[in-house]
Amino acid sequence: MTPDPLIETKSLSKKYEEGETYTPALNDITFSIHNGEFVSIMGPSGSGKSTLLHILGFLDRQTGGTYKFDGRSLESYADEELAGVRNKKMGFVFQAFNLLPRSTVLENVRLPLLYSDIKESLWDEKAKEAIDAVGLTQRINHEAFKLSGGEKQRVAIARALVNDPQVIFADEPTGNLDSKSGQAVISILEKLNIEKKHTVILITHETETAEHAERIIRIVDGKVESDKPVERRRSGSEFYK
């Protein structure tokens, strides 16, 4: 018996209203993603892929169609419930890192635990485990502004991991990085997917980056142009062992 999908959209649409003008961002988006998949959502700038991520991550609501996460429709959640699900079941990695520059690596990674049900006495232990998973134990007491771009993104991944989420959403995570640092970040996402079984949804406009997934959903002008499995590219990085 095939398990129910973790993420399921049917005829999903999103329109932005400006006075009497409506601007369509998404139109008739239908797909599903199961636990443990690594999926790239790929498209050019302005294609709607970031809008789609915001809906999938409970950061926005669609204007048409349906979205179910873990078998439950987005409409059935109250706002406070949405915040709880985001904190417990979803991890986010953004292009801009979104770290507190004067806080240490440990302090940044601990932040999501402030809103969790985990006992405070366990926060440091949980944060250290996540930091170790991205290979940054030696930087644990460094302030974020002293880190390289690649190290900052690895801290952001550790922060996304600290609550052991079902799914990690990574929105252009290599966009501000050089190629070597970008490869290290992608290899960490690979390892989390293959070894730790985290579901990973990667938003990117780069073909080479997208091909590290096992499946690519291409979005063009707010529509799904294609949804196909791919021969997965492996990073070969020191972080993927």
Q: What is the pLDDT of residue 109?
A: 97
3-state SS, 83-129, equals: HHHHHHHEEEEECCCCCCCCCEHHHHHHHHHHHCCCCHHHHHHHHHH
Q: What is the rounded distance in angstroms from the CA atom of residue 200 to the CA atom of residue 191?
A: 11
The CATH superfamily of 35-59+76-239 is: P-loop containing nucleotide triphosphate hydrolases (3.40.50.300)
pTM score of the predicted model: 0.92
Q: What is the pLDDT of residue 236?
A: 57
Q: What is the pLDDT along the chain (241 residues), one digit of tens a residue?
A: 678 999 999 999 999 988 888 889 999 999 999 999 999 999 998 899 999 999 999 999 999 999 999 999 999 988 888 989 999 999 999 999 999 999 999 999 999 999 888 999 999 999 999 999 999 999 999 999 999 999 999 999 999 999 999 999 999 999 989 999 999 999 999 999 999 899 999 999 999 999 999 999 999 999 999 999 998 877 654 444 3
Q: CA distances (Å), 105 to each of 31, 89, 116, 186, in order? A: 37, 22, 19, 20
Q: What is the pLDDT of residue 235?
A: 66
Q: What is the pLDDT of residue 234?
A: 73
Name the nearest CA neighbour of 49 among 187, 221, 194: 221
What residues does each domain of the chain span?
35-59+76-239
Name the nearest CA neighbour of 75 among 145, 10, 151: 10
Q: What is the pLDDT of residue 229?
A: 95
Neighbours of 115 (CB within 10 A): 13
Give the up-direction half-sphere exposure of residue 168: CA atoms within 13 A in the CB hemisphere.
30
